[in-house]
């Protein structure tokens, strides 16, 4: 067990990041912007996912640190905004306050019976906080297509939007872009209707495919 006070290394990371971004620090770090770091945020997130899926504990610790670096890096960049700055302290305060607001069964005496009740409370509170009136409000349309479709289907359910989605019976004829898009949508809708995470299912098959490639190459 370490003798260090809990949180001391988080404060040290703040100090290190500030030194790198300040005059006399690192020229590369000082030049970075939110936009220039997007690719690194995505890359580090994917590397952390890889470590999870391979149960690489050492890798998880390292890659989670890289993800944390991205959070601190973006927060430090935000401090330099000329008209609307914020800090890592503001970020931490915001997420802590949000967790308290959206867990009234823990912090405000609200009774729940199931995890589904917890999720419904979360969605209801979020909807009220954000002033959302449309199922599309707050959906990141720039995310990859598969999770985007899953999110749209989820929101449609929550907002009682009766969508028409294709089924396997609608798939026939030549494989052009429209037909392929309809086929993919039908499969994702089928997975959603049966409570299956299409992204997770496809990732598992992709990993199996990767294993096949490795096996064949090793022959």
Phi and psi for 32 in degrees, rounded to 5?
-70, 150
Binned at pLDDT 50, 70 and 90, residue 166 comes out as: confident
pLDDT, tens digit (0-9, with 9 covering 90-100), for 60-117: 999 999 999 999 999 999 999 999 999 999 999 999 999 999 999 999 999 999 999 9
pLDDT, tens digit (0-9, with 9 covering 90-100), for 1-14: 466 788 899 999 99
For residue 188, pLDDT over 70 is answered with yes
pTM comes to 0.76
Domains of the chain by residue range = 8-83, 135-217
Q: What is the mean pLDDT of residues 41-48?
A: 95
For residue 217, pLDDT over 70 is answered with no
Binned at pLDDT 50, 70 and 90, residue 158 comes out as: confident
Highest average pLDDT, of 59-63, 156-160, 178-182, 204-208, comes from: 59-63
Q: What is the mean pLDDT of residues 188-216?
A: 83
The architecture that CATH gives domain 8-83 is Orthogonal Bundle (1.10)
Alpha carbon separation from 43 to 51, 63, 157, 160 (Å, rounded): 13, 10, 32, 36
Binned at pLDDT 50, 70 and 90, residue 29 comes out as: very high
């Amino acid at each position: 067990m370490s003798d260090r006070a809990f949180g001391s290394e988080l404060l040290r990371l703040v100090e290190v990041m500030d030194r790198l971004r300040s005059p006399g620090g690192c020229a590369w770090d000082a030049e970075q912007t939110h936009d220039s770091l997007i690719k690194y945020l995505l890359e580090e997130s994917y590397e952390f996912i890889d470590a999870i899926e391979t149960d690489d504990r050492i890798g998880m610790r390292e890659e989670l640190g890289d993800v944390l670096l991205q959070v601190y890096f973006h927060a430090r960049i935000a401090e330099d905004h000329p008209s609307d700055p914020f800090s890592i302290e503001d970020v931490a305060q915001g997420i802590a306050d949000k967790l308290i607001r959206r867990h009234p069964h823990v912090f405000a005496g609200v009774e729940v019976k199931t995890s589904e009740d917890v999720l419904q409370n979360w969605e209801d509170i979020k909807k009220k906080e954000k002033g959302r009136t449309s199922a599309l409000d707050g959906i990141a349309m720039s995310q990859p297509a598969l999770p985007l479709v899953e999110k749209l289907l989820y929101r449609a359910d929550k907002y009682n939007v009766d969508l028409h989605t294709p089924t396997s019976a609608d798939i026939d004829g030549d494989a052009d872009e429209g037909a392929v898009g309809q086929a993919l949508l039908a499969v994702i809708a089928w997975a959603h209707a049966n409570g299956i995470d299409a992204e997770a299912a496809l990732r598992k098959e992709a990993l199996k495919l990767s294993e096949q490639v490795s096996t064949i190459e090793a022959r």
